[in-house]
Amino acid sequence: MTKPISGFSKLTKEEKIDWITTNYTHNKEQSKKILQTYWNQNGRIQQLHDEFIENTITNLYVPQGIAPNFLINDRLYAIPMAIEESSVIAAASKAAKFWLKRGGFKTEILGTEKVGQVHFLFKGDPAKLNSFFTYLKPILLAESASLTTSMQKRGGGITDIALRDKTHDIAHYYQLHATFQTKDAMGANFINSCLEQFAATLKKEAANYTAFSAQGKNVEIVMSILSNYVPNCTVRAMVSCPVEQIQLTDQLTPQQTAEKIIQAIEIAKVEPYRAVTHNKGIMNGIDAVVLATGNDFRAVEAGVHAYACKDGQYRSLTHATIDDGIFKFWIEVPLALGTVGGLTNLHPLVKLNLEILQHPSSEELMQIIAVAGLAQNFAAVSSLVTTGIQKGHMKMHLLNILNQLGADENEKTILVQYFKTNPVTHHGVELQLKEIRK
């Protein structure tokens, strides 16, 4: 039986690998070779990766591709996407090419406000707390000034601090609800530093506020942390064209195709089971670019899905209409992103990807990523209402199946050709491979 280990983080990388392969793998030497295979041969680059996180033993590679031909606000982009799922980049590229001939994508920043909160318990007189906050607010700003100087020089900083009474949810629970502008930085460290200073100032000033009772002076700070829910840090991306240009299949007229797309969107607005998968497809596009540009895709995911149920039910993030013969398809989505700080300054490939995107500001990156999500959704919904999703997806998945079955290059060439005109299933590929090998 494997015993718990003490001091694992203090071991060298080689010692960590020796321990994990000895205690948790069946073939120690083979496991070591696999881990070492994924090390970067450039020692400096590998050390950089080792120091991104704790207890590093290797790198898990995710393929990165390019989706070209994205015309966004009359500017042409090739978008780097890092993802392991088959057909995502192909679908995005197909949508980009489709809309390239129809005016491209148009985008608009709706807001860039980010949020952080100090959560605290106060057991004194609520009326006196409101008066105290009026007194406290300028002190909060003054005592955090040393933290905000650099950000203010870049045009950002604290935009407001409000006292929120949450006692109807939890007894004695209040918040300092603060909003921020962080310009081209994602701003997590900046926001959290400001919040922790707010908390220290709040506790100190409450203890010395003469109007409070002894109980009121004893403010209990629960936590101080930014929020990944950013409903006022949002972007809109849109495509539009005359309905007669929505010609996707010979089986449906453009009008029928546009109406089926709209119906599919409406279903995703009222049926959560569909909406979750619908929005997951959007996130295929969004996450792939977020990851390629060194941003926090978990934070983006959490914020986007919260936004999808902002009115009390989980719904589609995209919308579609026909107005006066014009088909319109758009998305509004919250995206808190950065193009400076974090991995954007450290990871060589992330820096290259931002160069490929023509060194975008954080607002420009918001627009690019929203477009990637919209393109992905258009491709997915278009397939669903015409040929079905599996036809294209399984053809892209074919090479994964062939690799899984150990096909050599000659077998791959033969079977790729065969499945151009035959449906792809795992069992079908397996049978054809056996036939070839006979």
pLDDT over 70 at 259, yes or no: yes
* Residue 85 known to be catalytic: yes
pLDDT over 90 at 415, yes or no: no
* Residue 393 known to be catalytic: yes
The predicted structure's pLDDT at residue 249: 87
Mean pLDDT over each residue of the chain, to the nearest integer: 94
Lowest average pLDDT, out of 129-138, 173-182, 338-347, 366-375, goes to 338-347
The predicted structure's pLDDT at residue 396: 62
Residue 371: name the closest of 330, 337, 334 by CA.
330
Mean per-residue pLDDT, 57-68: 97
The predicted structure's pLDDT at residue 90: 94
CB-based contact 184:344 (threshold 8 Å): no
The predicted structure's pLDDT at residue 57: 97
Residue 384: name the closest of 281, 264, 272 by CA.
264
Residues 102-131 pLDDT 10s: 999 999 999 999 999 999 999 999 999 999
The predicted structure's pLDDT at residue 391: 58
Element (H, E) at 305: helix 297-308
Mean per-residue pLDDT, 200-214: 97
Among 184, 205, 296, 364, which one carries the catalytic annotation?
A: 296
Q: How sure is the predictor about 398, in pLDDT bands with cuts at 50, 70 and 90?
A: confident
What are the backbone angles phi and psi of residue 281, rounded to the nearest 5°? -65, -40
Mean per-residue pLDDT, 202-206: 98
Among 16, 32, 278, 393, which one carries the catalytic annotation?
A: 393
Instruction: Supply the DSSP symbol for 211.
Output: T
pLDDT over 90 at 191, yes or no: yes
Q: In angstroms, what is the C-alpha Rg of the chain?
A: 27
The predicted structure's pLDDT at residue 392: 57
* Residue 280 known to be catalytic: yes
Element (H, E) at 66: strand 64-72
Among 85, 108, 113, 301, which one carries the catalytic annotation?
A: 85
pLDDT over 60 at 171, yes or no: yes
Residue 294: name the closest of 354, 364, 234 by CA.
354
pLDDT over 80 at 68, yes or no: yes
Residue 314: name the closest of 301, 325, 304, 323 by CA.
304
Q: What is the DSSP string of 150-208?
A: HHHHTT-EEEEEEEEE-TTTSTTEEEEEEEEE-TTB--HHHHHHHHHHHHHHHHHHHHT
Paired strand residues for 321: 328
Among 153, 204, 280, 420, which one carries the catalytic annotation?
A: 280
pLDDT over 70 at 93, yes or no: yes
pLDDT over 60 at 390, yes or no: no
Q: How would you list the strands of the sheet with 220-227, edge to edge?
A: 157-165, 173-181, 114-121, 220-227
Cα torsion through 402, 408, 410, 415, rounded to 10 = -10
Residues 399-414 pLDDT 10s: 778 888 888 888 888 8
CB-based contact 147:235 (threshold 8 Å): no
Would you say the pTM of this structure is higher than 0.85? yes
Residues 274-325 pLDDT 10s: 999 999 999 999 999 999 999 999 999 999 999 999 999 999 999 999 999 9
The predicted structure's pLDDT at residue 341: 86
pLDDT over 70 at 224, yes or no: yes
Paired strand residues for 322: 327
Paired strand residues for 287: none
The predicted structure's pLDDT at residue 345: 84
Q: How sure is the predictor about 167, in pLDDT bands with cuts at 50, 70 and 90?
A: very high
**3-class SS at 14?**
helix
The predicted structure's pLDDT at residue 316: 98
Mean per-residue pLDDT, 233-250: 95
